[in-house]
Amino acid sequence: MRMSFGLEARQLQTQKLAPKMIQSMEILQLPIMALQERIDQEMSENPMLELEEPEPPVDANGELEVAEKQSSKTEDERELVVKDDSSNAEGWKT
């Protein structure tokens, strides 16, 4: 029986997830109904949590701005128009 002594170097890469990261990933994967139930459960268990509903935007007259913004198109929403009547030959040198 032969015994030998020596040094050996090894690289090892492992990934460890913190419990908070695991919880975050579980919450992100929940369906909407299960997520709503989870939110309700957390709110009932923790009295410091409050549900804040976003208020719809209103203008100076007190009217909703939603309909006005939907009717006007931004520059990104405009239709792309390509003109085929011009030739690109002037851009090329021969």
Does residue 85 fall inside a structural domain? no
Does residue 39 fall inside a structural domain? yes
**Torsion, CA 13, CA 18, CA 19, CA 24, rounded to 10:** -100
49 SS3 class: coil
Does residue 94 fall inside a structural domain? no
Task: Domain of residue 30: give its range.
Answer: 21-45
Does residue 26 fall inside a structural domain? yes
Digit-coded pLDDT (tens) for 5-61: 888 899 998 888 899 999 999 999 999 999 999 999 999 999 898 888 877 777 666
Does residue 72 fall inside a structural domain? no
Instruction: Indicate the residue type of 37.
Output: E
Does residue 37 fall inside a structural domain? yes
With a CB cutoff of 8 Å and minimum separation 6, the contacts of 42 are 49
Does residue 32 fall inside a structural domain? yes
Structural domain total, the chain: 1
Does residue 65 fall inside a structural domain? no
With a CB cutoff of 8 Å and minimum separation 6, the contacts of 57 are 64, 65, 66
Entry pTM? 0.41
Tokens representing residue 74 in the block: 């931004």
